[in-house]
A and B are shown apart, each in its own frame.
Chain A
């Protein structure tokens, strides 16, 4: 049996989704009134529906028949788009929520870190929060006592130990929170994207600390959007898509599959079913795509060429001024920029209902080489009501053919940087004397 750390056998988790049809705000929780009204209207309609009034239900298979074995000491990455089921899988494995079907067996002491600083109380001091947070994460008091100095030194907050954390800067807060978590010593550590915190120097420190954990022969399950962190930390990666395991293998292979599209292209995404597409009262997202200079969908873009980001959406109601916007991220999770529709023709005008397309063009010689992710988003203006915000709706790669006419000139190796604009350089000799 068990050289295993985690065995998942057919794990599935279904959610019942309530769609409010009449109200602007989706009801997050039910009130008895809703229940009673729902039951009453159900009786009137001959038990047509049970549940909230004006609600319809659909089942979402957040994870669906997920199976894998992780052996002791493996560091495994989990990747996938937003909504692929990564967080649900971690929640099930962390025992936060129970699966609907299937089972998982965990061999060893497990700690999960789905959020940095869970359970910190703003009124308590740094010292007190270390104990409280440690206990919440499953540490015993004597363990915290033993590691206290190490935690404080790692977080670099020695001077403010007796200050309530509500007075901490966000950086200090996050450092202290990560420090507690980093000093857990479980056999199995489950981590969700907690590296997206703190400044670059502290991020590096965190990553090194996590590599230490892996090097000590512990099992680590690591969810991230940062492909570089996944490649650096994990030998093996599991790719989830629509709640299912799409690929499971060596990290470099799975990551490149994922980025290049594997079974489905990353450069275009279409929502055929209006019920499943992101949206609200006024607008609903129907497609997002990346187009090359020829106007065709393309996931590889020459660094010298412009690239078009396109979103297609239904405007469901007349009378709203819309502000389509997009957010560009690189594979490190760095937010490069946000762009908002400023098309003078529609900027202040209410858009009639219908199918619309909005396109933004990024000029050539601006982005750096590498993978870029695009969030597409829509809000109405005045009043400002978010309509949808789809993270990582599409992704594309920027490559340099190294023909010598890009911003890298004749330089052939690693350049770094989050953008690579072509700048105008000037040279002149200002003196003949030395």
Chain B
């Protein structure tokens, strides 16, 4: 042993006394719920670093960079405006079709991107899952949250559209963060389910794009939910994204408040999210074995 480069550890770095040391017990997984919030809290910095990584690498080696976050929804809006607003003359509740559509597209784009990337997030991190311990739930959660950066960029365009069409938001705009949260919870909930299922059944990767496509038409992005008569309109809220999109229009454009629908959407989103958390932590101990 070479003593030349052996340095003495400073006193403060020496291992702590027994009573201060944390104790970890490793044993077979039992019961249906044992998510430790304390453990999640201990790893909160990792969540931050995962989000930071996802944001940093998202537009690496692209020419247009973050402009993609604008191009995608704007191009979608242009196409929808031509076909649904222009040719099919779908009602837009008295609003100019482009802004009516874009207000719905904004949370929808966030949701669809978050959903597809989250469902693939664990498999994409297979190397990590096999070699390091950390609460696995951090991976899909970080991916879901990282998508908000694109949302923020695309939101700038919406402000531009509101100025252009001279739409002054009412006080209900204060509710916007809640609807955004509803979108995050929905994307996170579905993402938790799909990412965990994807570890074992890679079918998810192929099914997710279809799911998103169908879901778009089951969500009032290109049309208003007022096309449906009651009580179907409220029942439509069983799709949580209906509540999100109608909530966005209410908060930003001052359409009629769809309260019952939003309440239903919120309940469903919470059910999906918490069942997702339960399912995820039930199967996460097996991830390293099957991924």
Q: Are B7 and A135 in contact (CB under 8 A)?
A: no
A31 contacts chain B at the CB level, 8 A cutoff: yes
A92 contacts chain B at the CB level, 8 A cutoff: yes
Q: Which of B51-73 contact A (CB under 8 A)?
A: 52-53, 56-57, 60-61
Residues of A within 8 A of B201 (CB): 29-32, 35
A115 contacts chain B at the CB level, 8 A cutoff: yes
Q: Are B45 and A105 in contact (CB under 8 A)?
A: no
Q: Which residue of A lies closest to B127 (CB)?
A: A118
> Which of A33, A105, A124 contacts B56, CB < 8 Å?
A124
What's the Cα separation between A99 and B286 when bound, in Å?
10
A to B contact number (C-beta, < 8 Å):
140
B203 contacts chain A at the CB level, 8 A cutoff: yes
What's the Cα separation between A35 and B132 when bound, in Å?
29
Chain B nearest CB: distance from A195 CB in Å? 15
Q: Are A29 and B200 in contact (CB under 8 A)?
A: yes
Q: Are B132 and A137 in contact (CB under 8 A)?
A: yes
> On chain B, which size bracket covers the interface?
35 or more
Q: Are A211 and B26 in contact (CB under 8 A)?
A: no
Residues of B within 8 A of A82 (CB): none
Residues of B within 8 A of A348 (CB): none
Q: Which residue of A lies closest to B199 (CB)?
A: A29
**Given A208-B2, A216-B9: A106 touches B49 (CB 8 Å cut-off):** no
Residues of B within 8 A of A33 (CB): 203
Residues of A within 8 A of B156 (CB): none
Q: Are B290 and A29 in contact (CB under 8 A)?
A: yes
Residues of A within 8 A of B286 (CB): 97-98
> On chain A, which size bracket covers the interface?
35 or more
Residues of A within 8 A of B131 (CB): 96, 114-115, 118
Chain A nearest CB: distance from B291 CB in Å? 8
Q: Are A128 and B128 in contact (CB under 8 A)?
A: no
A131 contacts chain B at the CB level, 8 A cutoff: yes
Residues of B within 8 A of A15 (CB): 289
What's the Cα separation between A185 and B261 when bound, in Å?
53
What's the Cα separation between A109 and B16 when bound, in Å?
10
What's the Cα separation between A187 and B20 when bound, in Å?
11
**Given A187-B21, A211-B1, A215-B6: A98 touches B28 (CB 8 Å cut-off):** yes
Q: Are A136 and B203 in contact (CB under 8 A)?
A: no
B23 contacts chain A at the CB level, 8 A cutoff: yes
Q: Which residue of B lies closest to A233 (CB)?
A: B1
Chain A nearest CB: distance from B188 CB in Å? 21
Q: Are A96 and B132 in contact (CB under 8 A)?
A: yes
Chain A nearest CB: distance from B41 CB in Å? 13
| Known interface pairs A29-B290, A96-B132; 18 further A-B residue pairs with C-beta atoms within 8 A, sorted by A's residue number | A3-B18, A11-B26, A31-B202, A95-B133, A97-B285, A97-B289, A98-B29, A99-B27, A103-B25, A103-B26, A106-B25, A118-B131, A119-B127, A121-B53, A124-B56, A140-B45, A208-B6, A215-B6
